[in-house]
Amino acid sequence: MGQLNLFKDLFMLKECHKEWPLGQKTVYVQTYTPDLLYPVPRTLARDKTGIFGALPFHGVDIWNAFEISWLNAKGKPEIALAELTFPCTSENIVESKSLKLYLNSFNQTRFDSFETVAKVIEGDLKKIICEEIEVKLYPHSHFEKTALEGFSGVCLDNLDIETTTYQVERKFLFIEEEDTKKEDVEETLYTDLFKSNCLATGQPDWGSLWIHYVGKRINHEGLLKYLISFRDHSGFAEHCVEQIYYDIMQQCSPKNLSVYGRYTRRGGLDINPFRSNFESNPTNIRQVRQ
């Protein structure tokens, strides 16, 4: 059933977007080509989730890109690591394979500085997402000094649950009757067991999910079963995090909620969406699987 839903969603996307670069023979262009970038409207998934009009959250998508190289003014190669911060209010996201191909198109093009390359990327992505984007380029030595971190809070992964449900089931999210009569709690919970599938390719997306909320106590076993139920679900990283936020709000009604996903790198890119109604945007930590 999961594969059937994946193919159905992918077919619908491709029917709506005939120029979609996925599923076509990959040609790596060696010189700067901004036309390789391809937009995906955020409304495609938000409408399906039930998010209409004013957003119930704020946040960002932090992308880390590890495959960027160009030639300096003398023809010598430069390499960099990029941090791309997209606001969740943008009209579009950029399709990840198109971003990979775009960044690789810098390989045989000359630029005079890191700053110039950053401004070029910033300008091109702004046109695609229809909003401002922050681009930071770092030399390779920057990440050699970056310490690995894990999520703080209570890990759900040691709970002894039993489940056979691997398509999203929001009914797993609930508050025990006795807890509805108690005072609100503040909890920070996380799992490293999260998996979904890329809507465009069907490839597995592995990640860790962090949830911070204030409200009536959410049943931990049910929450873990709910997060595991994404295992055969097809959706982009940003859409999965927004659906988790929306489902928790609908089922458990916390006063305050933050959801943060850190995904394992694929194709030289890792994607890390954050959504909240009360906290500022997070720092760009680096986890052991990143």
Residue whose structure tokens are 């997070």: 282
Q: Give kind and range of the element (H or E) at residue 275.
A: strand 269-276
Q: Which residues contact 106 (CB under 8 A, 6 or more apart)?
A: 32, 68, 69, 70, 117
d(CA 11, CA 137): 36
d(CA 14, CA 17): 5
d(CA 21, CA 101): 10
The tokens 């606001």 sit on which residue?
87
* Partner residues linked to 191 by β-bridges: 209
- Residues tagged active-site: 198, 205
DSSP type of residue 74: T
Q: Are 106 and 37 a contacting pair, CB within 8 Å?
A: no
Closest to 238 measured CA to CA, from 2, 49, 1: 49
Instruction: Give every CB contact of residue 158 below 8 A, 6+ residues apart in sequence.
Output: none
